[in-house]
Amino acid sequence: MTKPSPDTELIARNKRARHDYEVLETFEAGLVLQGTEVKSLRNGKANLGDAYGIVKDGELWLINLHIAPYEKGSAWNHEATRTRKLLLHASEIRRLIGAVERKGLTIVPLEMRFRRGRAKVVLALGRGKKLHDKRADLKEKDAKRDVARALRSSR
């Protein structure tokens, strides 16, 4: 994954994604949004926890992305968990479609951010982890933390 540049503003991050999925490849995609959705995102009102990507009619869609209704949106407010279209290059879409259909992988959103004023979603092509893989990752993370703590206290 690329490092965020100074013109990037983080909106939301899916912390469970890297725990539940083995990330194989990442993509940055645009989103088709309504006006009140953008205003709500500017206020940081997004939740990626239950979101996932699907392929329908040769296009990619993001399901269950929760963007809270804009407080001042009145009658023109958006539906909070509507299906949103993802914008990618055709070659990236073909690659994702092939991976999802042939290899049984999942499209998982990792984070949302504004990049040069446009809302973007960082998507991961992931394989679901088994319980023993999750436990091994937690043990490894704990061991690294203990080593870092020991090095810090020995100074």
Residue-level pLDDT at 86: 93
**pLDDT tens-digit readout, 102-122:** 887 889 999 999 999 899 999
Residue range of the domain that includes 23:
9-129
Residue 107 covered by a domain: yes
Per-residue pLDDT tens digits for 82-103: 899 999 999 999 998 888 888 8
User: What is the pLDDT, as a whole number, of residue 1?
Assistant: 52
User: Dihedral of the CA atoms 56, 97, 92, 65 (nearest 10)?
Assistant: 50
In a domain, 136, yes or no: no
Judge whether 109 lies within some domain.
Answer: yes
118 inside domain: yes
- What's the domain count of the chain? 1
pLDDT tens track, the chain, 155 positions: 556 566 788 898 998 888 888 889 899 999 998 888 888 888 888 888 889 999 898 899 999 999 888 888 777 788 888 899 999 999 999 998 888 888 878 899 999 999 998 999 999 998 888 888 889 888 998 999 999 999 888 87
The encoded tokens of residue 128 equal: 């679901």
Q: What share of the chain is helix, strand, coil (3-state, %, to 5)?
A: 35, 35, 30
Is the residue at 134 inside a domain? no
pLDDT, residue 89, reads: 93
| CATH code for position 117 | 2.40.280.10
pTM across the whole model? 0.79
For tokens 């995102």, the residue is 41
Asked if the structure places residue 140 within a domain, the reply is no
